[in-house]
Every structure is written in structure tokens, then in C-alpha cells.
Amino acid sequence: KAGVTQTPRYLIKTRGQQVTLSCSPISGHRSVSWYQQTPGQGLQFLFEYFSETQRNKGNFPGRFSGRQFSNSRSEMNVSTLELGDSALYLCASSPRQGVAKNIQYFGAGTRLSVL
């Protein structure tokens, strides 16, 4: 099976702009979660989508949003970018069933730099 695919791998934006990141999960995985990783804060959960519905949400402002499509692909959007949004954004898919239901399979990430 192909792994989790994230595009683009790198992005450079300026403050005030918006950005959309894309994630294609492992085939058969209906859950997609997004995480922000920074040196200071570590891995922080943004939100999870399951069957096109947001299932869980972390402690991030409303500028961070996402959606999931019927084929389980997911997008994450950040509006009005701030310098502090510079981070590695990781997408992870999960089967959400069976003994492996909570295991996260991560993509390579999108490294976002906000100038």
C-alpha cells in the first residue's frame, strides 16, 4: 500500500496570506489527523476528520481549518498567516478500527515558512 502523501513538501508565504495543504491517506483509512510540529511546542494536534466530519479539534485559533472529501483526502487551510505559523505540518491517517485503530501513519509533512 502506498503511504500517506502530503503536498506540497515546502512552502514559503508572507504574513497575511493564506495557505492550503493537502493530504492523501493510506488506502482504506478513513481518519485523517493534522498536527503542527515546532521546536518549542513539539507535536500538537490540530484536528481529526473521519468520514468527512471533523471528529476532534485541538486548541488552535479559527484561522486553522480543514475538510475531508468523500475519498478521504483531506485539506488544511490556514488564513491570515502569522510568523508563528512557521512549522512542519504533519498529516497522519489511521484505520480507526481494530487493534491498530489509534496508530498514526504519518506523511512526510509540509514545511511552511512564513516571512
Partner 1 sequence: GQQVMQIPQYQHVQEGEDFTTYCNSSTTLSNIQWYKQRPGGHPVFLIQLVKSGEVKKQKRLTFQFGEAKKNSSLHITATQTTDVGTYFCARDGGSQGNLIFGKGTKLSVKP
Catalog residues that contact partner 1 under the rule CB under 8 A: 31, 33, 35, 42-43, 45, 47-48, 56-58, 90, 92, 94, 99-100, 102-109
Closest contact distance (angstroms) between CB of 41 and partner 1 is: 9
Burial 34-58 (b: 16+ CB within 10 A, else e): bbbeeeeeeeeebbbbbeeeeeeee
User: 17 or 95: whose CB is closer to partner 1?
Assistant: 95
Closest contact distance (angstroms) between CB of 51 and partner 1 is: 14
User: 70 or 98: whose CB is closer to partner 1?
Assistant: 98
User: 43 or 83: whose CB is closer to partner 1?
Assistant: 43
Closest contact distance (angstroms) between CB of 70 and partner 1 is: 21
**What region does 84 belong to: left with phi over 0, alpha with psi -120 to 50, or beta?**
alpha
Q: Rg of the Cα trace of the chain?
A: 13
Distance CA 45, CA 60 (A): 9
Closest contact distance (angstroms) between CB of 49 and partner 1 is: 10
Distance CA 86, CA 38 (A): 8
